Amino acid sequence: MYIVTATQPDIMFAVSALAQFMQDPAKMHWEAMKCVIRYLKGKRDLELTYGATSTGIVRYTDADHASQYHRHSILGYTFLINRGMVSWSSKKQLIMALSMTEAEYMATTHAAKEALWLCLFLGEIM
């Protein structure tokens, strides 16, 4: 989990889905984990580069509506400063959204709270 949260947020969904089966893993879970490891092995030579141009803060938000077996929406957002990711989140909602619009509003609300905190934090350090 350290690798996912600290250095590899792109595999968060796959690892969190596999983590649900840690008590009683099956052969298909082992095969899926091997796919994740092969993915990481294939991108080991890539590196994160922060841009030299100032593009300010950019936010991306998305939600899926009941696409998983548990029928809860998965919400996510990411914030970039000068094209470098500085904050992100992806999580299953505790309450069930009744529509795609409601799921998107929940994602936007969570992102707005993070944006307020990020602006206050940047104001403090600059």
pLDDT value at 87 more than 80: yes
Q: Is the pLDDT of residue 117 over 70?
A: yes
Does 101 have pLDDT greater than 70? Answer: yes
Q: For position 55, what pLDDT does the model report?
A: 72
Q: Are 16 and 9 in contact (CB under 8 A)?
A: no
In the chain, DSSP finds a helix count (H) and a strand count (E) of 4, 3
> Percent of the chain having pLDDT more than 90?
16
Q: Is the pTM of this model over 0.75?
A: no
Domain locations in the chain as residue ranges = 1-47, 49-126
**Predicted pLDDT at 98:** 83
What is the mean pLDDT of the segment spanning 109-116?
92
Q: pLDDT band at residue 95, thresholds of 50, 70 and 90?
A: confident
Q: Is residue 74 packed enough to be buried (19+ CB in 10 Å), middle (13-18) or exposed (0-12)?
A: buried
Dist CA 19 CA 15 (whole Å): 6
pLDDT tens digits, one per residue of 19-75: 888 888 899 999 999 999 899 898 888 776 666 667 778 899 988 877 667 778 888
